[in-house]
Amino acid sequence: MRYFIRLSYNGIRYHGWQIQKSGLTVEEILEKCLSHLLGKSIDLIGGGRTDKGVHAKEFFAHLDSEKQLDKKLVIKLNAFLPKDIVVYGFYLVAPQAHARHSANSRTYLYRISLSKKTFYTELSWQCKYEQLNIDLMNKASELLQKYNNFSSFCKDNISNCYAKIKYAHWCYKGGKLLFEIKANRFLRNMVRSLIGTLLNIGKEKININQFCEIVDAKDRQRSGPSVPARGLFLKKICYPKAIFL
């Protein structure tokens, strides 16, 4: 039987989701706890890869199990897991369902604290911007939907830099500047690089035409600096309802 597991995590002390040769990861800890509780080696397939220090409000992974996974296992698992990782449930899915490849879309949220906040140090980028042209930033964000190649914002040198952005928007809320973006897929470092470039528009260091030239250039050296990871959250992953049994 194949199950999806839904969880969230504070990524501040982790080197992302996926297991690496060096650095502690969320996948490593979760696999160890599940293997201990189920009495067998468990391999998880995540719904994506988050960079070092990036958080997830909602994350999915899948695993195969001969045993039925229920709420009792959720309670036991959370007792074993550290406080910065929480599991919410297991969901029986179709045998061919895949946590990464079956996803319809992913939504990321970035938080910028505009003043010093005691409790937001790990969960937002504290950066004081007194003057930002949010209207221009949103005009540029809307234009992203017209493009499908985002090589200019990808950290890796890969051939497939295609993505379809469905929504991207900036707003002020509760003393914070928030950016939300939804797409069918994201490239490594893409969101953080996009935000750094859009902030340059808000500071009027570049204009809309120059922003379009950066996208068209398909050259990572042309885009703005990547913003810090601590303000970035994977907010939601959407799947077809038909895969859930």
Exposed / middle / buried, residue 119 (Cβ in 10 Å: 0-12, 13-18, 19+): exposed
User: 2: how many CB neighbours lie within 10 A of its CB?
Assistant: 19
Contacts of 149 (CB under 8 A, 6+ apart): 161, 162, 215, 218
CA nearest neighbour of 123 among 135, 112, 134: 112
The active-site residue, picked from 43, 51, 64, 216, is 51
Using alpha carbons only, how large is the chain's radius of gyration in Å?
Answer: 19
Question: Does the annotation mark 70 as catalytic?
Answer: no
Annotated binding-site residue? 172: no
Q: Which stretches within 126-186 are classed as H helix? A: 134-143
Binding residues for substrate: 108
Binding residues: 108
Q: Which residues belong to the active site? A: 51
